Structure 1
Amino acid sequence: MSKSDRYCVIMAGGIGSRFWPMSTQKFPKQFQDILGVGRTMIQQTYDRISRIIPNENIFVITNSEYVELSHQQLPEIPQENIVGEPLVKNTAPCNLYMANKIAEINPNATMIVLPADHLILKEETFLEKAELAFEIAAKNDYLVTLGITPTRPDTGYGYIQFVDKHDSEYYKVKTFTEKPILEIAKSFLESGDFLWNAGIFIWSVKSIHHAFETYLPEMTQHFMACDYNAGNEASCIELIYPKVQKISIDNGILEKAKNVYVIPADLGWSDLGTWTSVYENVEKDSDQNAVKQKHILTYNSTGNIIHIKNSNKAVVVDGLKDFIVVDTEKVLLICPRDHDQLIKDYVLDLKNLKKGDKFM
């Protein structure tokens, strides 16, 4: 396939509520430099993929309120390639929207879809697997995904079960399971034929259109009403979005389709979905505390992640073990690390307080 037939869509619409209070509605985690490396998560995603895809073929789909933020952080991408969704409708509608836009430009396109906020430490491996996926998806009517070898029975990830080797580099997918309970996750790990779903997908616009027509025909009809890359695209999208079903690409398409293939990939991957996953991926001191600030003193304290927004503030921590401590301008969060999945609940409870919205 010609390199000019390759496209990329970066999905950057989430608000990362498990990552509160650093990730807020105004400034979600994909636009932050969470690991302190000098580039935000969306910039790192762009840096990786721009090595094999030209800027004019890279698109970003995000919530309408983050379009300006996306422009600021990714000035290399043409302005018209950064697209705002009027409503949050999960990942199936935005995938169809972008496939339609790209197909209008190039009906022979093959596209890779990437979440904006994932960590990939093994970039060379990622690019190799992406190249392989592009080749497979361009030649066949396949929906291809990258699968990560699981290291623990995590209940926060989706799982992909594969069948016998199709050849040495990729397998046919048997089942997709979204976020199983712990017992099931443990059995998946023991069976050895399950991979984590990294949410990285590669398909030709023809194959994904065919899948949408088959499994989400009503959604396909709604989106056919618009002219893409034309002056009235945005107003048309605003009219159809309220009518479109809210469903993930996994539930809507991948769990049903018979032509899904997975490439196992050891990418040093994390979705950085929680404070614990950040703790695991940042440098720690001799007491296993993850601390970036200058003026922090710790005593009898181990296994903590401490993040203080104000670098001029001195912090003293004594006798704390395995905690998350996050201090922002408006919020102080202190909770055990193993309660990080409850942060979503804290956010909901806080919203219910009088004027609680201002802390989001």
Structure 2
Amino acid sequence: MNFQHTYVVIMAGGVGTRFWPFSRQTYPKQFHDVLGIGRTMLQMTFDRLSDICPVENVYIVTSQEYYDLTKQQLPELSDHQILLEPSRRNTAPCIGYACYKIATKDPEANIIVTPADHLILKEKEFTDRIKVALAATAESDILVTLGITPTRPDTGYGYIQFDGLTDKEVKRVKTFTEKPHLELAQAFLESGDYVWNAGIFVWNARSIRKAFEAYLPAMHEVFEKLEANYYTEQEALELLQVYPLCQNISIDNGVMEKAQNVHVVLSDIGWSDLGTWKSLYEVSEKDANDNVIDGHIVTHNTTGSIIKTPKERLVVVEGLSDYIVAEFDNVLLICPKDKEQKVKEFVADASKRGTHFV
């Protein structure tokens, strides 16, 4: 496995609506220090992978509007390492763009693809699992995903069924199932041969190009036509013309669920997609009253709550149990934790009051 041929693609273009009011159109959650530790989610993802490949081999795919934020937070990256999507078209075009660009520079590239906003608590184990996957994709034209050992019958995640008859570390994938109902998720958990789909992928440049050519031929054509423009001043202009032609589809629906050469590396890495306030509460350090506190906050008779407010504002909370209290940029959210699925409704209501609130 060659360190110089290893590349990382970090997907950082999403908005993360469920994390409102922190995650906003102008300032999504991947650019926030969500855990209050002095590094943003994007920076933590970059740090986690910086030992696996050279800095010049790290690429960020994000929206044009987040160029400045990305540059501020990762000043060590050159402009050609920050890929700016003209529009949001889901993960398949985003991944295709990055992988085809890298392939023109290095046809032997071995590529890791990861979201910018996931939490991984066991970083050494994560590195080990990634290296297992990289060793496999350096030798074979296979598509590898990390499968997370499930801890509960969660209906919000996709599930991967793997071939449990082999003791190899890289196991063949049998099926993908998107967000099953509770009874099915429970059955998956009990069977022992299902894992969560974390959306973290490893493959070589050849295998992902073959997969696009086979399963997303129109998209393959778009990115292949761009090959003469990658790493030139014409790249952004040409991309603007052709990116809208790309189908709006996820890499899972477009490639992974169709391909016959998909494998999984089972991973117990302390993973969370940190998609919601409740998931942030679950992974954060609690005080003696089971509260997660981030800010200048005084609590009385308050338990099981997550309270995240600006450091310069003193906030006093009395008598709340299992609540979310979150303030950012002139928006304050106060909501029971078990009603957090209504956040998207709140965002829709807020947008009627003015786009600056969302």
With normalisation by structure 2, the TM-score equals 0.96
CA contact (8 A) 2:133 2:170 kept: no
Partner SS state of residue 164, structure 1:
coil
Q: Find the counterpart in structure 2 of residue 335 from structure 1.
A: 335
- Deviation at 1:345? 2.2
User: Which secondary structure does the structure 2 equivalent of 1:18 belong to?
Assistant: helix
Range 49-58 or range 169-178, more displaced? 169-178
The answer to whether the 8 Å contact 2:147/2:264 transfers is yes
Partner of 2:276: 274
Equivalence for 1:80: 80
CA shift for structure 1 position 190: 2.1
In structure 1, stretches of 5+ residues that fail to align are none
Q: For 1:136-215, list aligned pairs within 5 A.
A: 136-215=136-215
Any idea what the Cα deviations from partners look like across 1:44-95, whole Å, max 9, x if unmatched?
1111101121011111100111112111101122221111000000000011
> 2:164, 2:193 within 8 Å by CA — same for their partners in 1?
no
**Where does residue 109 of structure 1 map in the other structure?**
109
Kindly provide the CA deviation profile for residues 116-151 of structure 1, in whole angstroms up to 9, marking residues without a partner as x.
111111111111111111110111111001111111
The SS at the match of 1:279 is helix
Contact 1:165 1:171 in 2 (8 A): no
Is there any run of 5+ residues in structure 2 with no aligned partner, and where?
none
Q: Is 1:325 aligned with 2:325?
A: yes
- Which moves more between the two structures, 125-134 or 74-83? 74-83
Q: CA deviation at 1:349?
A: 2.9
Whole-Å separation in 2 of the counterparts to 1:165 and 1:77: 43
Equivalent position SS for 1:48? helix
2:260 is matched with which residue? 258
Q: Give the equivalent residue in structure 2 for 1:356.
A: 354
Look up the match of 2:248.
246
Cα separation, 2, equivalents of 1:156 and 1:211: 27
Give the structure-1-normalised TM-score.
0.96
Question: How far apart, in 2, do the equivalents of 1:210 and 1:267 lie?
Answer: 30
Question: 1:298 is aligned with what amino acid?
Answer: T
Q: Secondary structure of 1:35's partner?
A: coil
Report how far residue 2 of structure 1 moved.
2.0
Check conservation: 2:121, 2:270, Cα contact below 8 A: yes
SS in 2 for 1:242: helix
Superposed structure 1 runs of 4+ greater than 3 Å apart: 165-168
How many pairs were matched up?
356
CA RMSD in angstroms, aligned pairs only:
1.3
Mapping for residues 46-57 of structure 1, pairs under 5 Å: 46-57=46-57
Alignment of 1:28-47 (within 5 A): 28-47=28-47
2:308 paired residue number: 307
Cα contact 1:298–1:316 (8 A) shared by 2: yes
Report the AA paired with residue 6 of structure 1: T
Q: In structure 2, what residue type is equivalent to 1:235? A: L
1:131 is matched with 131
Q: Percent identity between the aligned chains?
A: 54
Structure 1 residues 237-277: Cα deviation after superposition (integer angstroms, max 9, x where no partner): 11111111000000100011111100001111111111011
